[in-house]
Amino acid sequence: MQCFGLALHSWCTWAESYYVDDDPQVTDAAEQPLLGETWVITGTFAGKSRDDVKTRLESLEAKVSGSVSAKTTVLAAGGKAGSKKTVTEAAGVRIVEEDELLTMI
């Protein structure tokens, strides 16, 4: 940011301290390993609620949906998974079982 004129000097100094760069920052891929994935959660999980699982997946940059759709890329299947698992199996969507999921998150 450039400021012109002496009268604007103090304002420019203040403005520069609040200036936000328009260039997007590159974030380490390790911080967002699930970016671009849409997950659906089904079943029950030992020691974790679905909200806990959802919060953790979102913190890894996954989008979490409540229903299976053409955009679903992964199903997190806990115990007693029902029709959502059947639908995703038929569609060829990747299914992550409870044991694998709990080691991931």
In-domain check, residue 70: yes
In-domain check, residue 77: yes
In-domain check, residue 44: yes
What is the chain's pLDDT, residue by residue, as a tens digit (105 residues)?
444 554 444 544 544 554 444 544 445 666 789 999 999 999 999 989 999 999 999 999 999 999 999 999 999 999 999 999 999 999 999 999 999 998 988
pLDDT of residue 104: 87
In-domain check, residue 24: no
Instruction: Please state the pTM of the whole predicted model.
Output: 0.71
Q: What is the CATH number of the domain that holds 97?
A: 3.40.50.10190
Contacts for 77 with CB less than 8 Å, ≥ 6 apart: 42, 43, 84, 85, 95, 96, 97, 98
pLDDT of residue 88: 95
pLDDT of residue 13: 52
Domain encompassing residue 83: 34-104
In-domain check, residue 78: yes
In-domain check, residue 21: no
Number of domains in the chain: 1
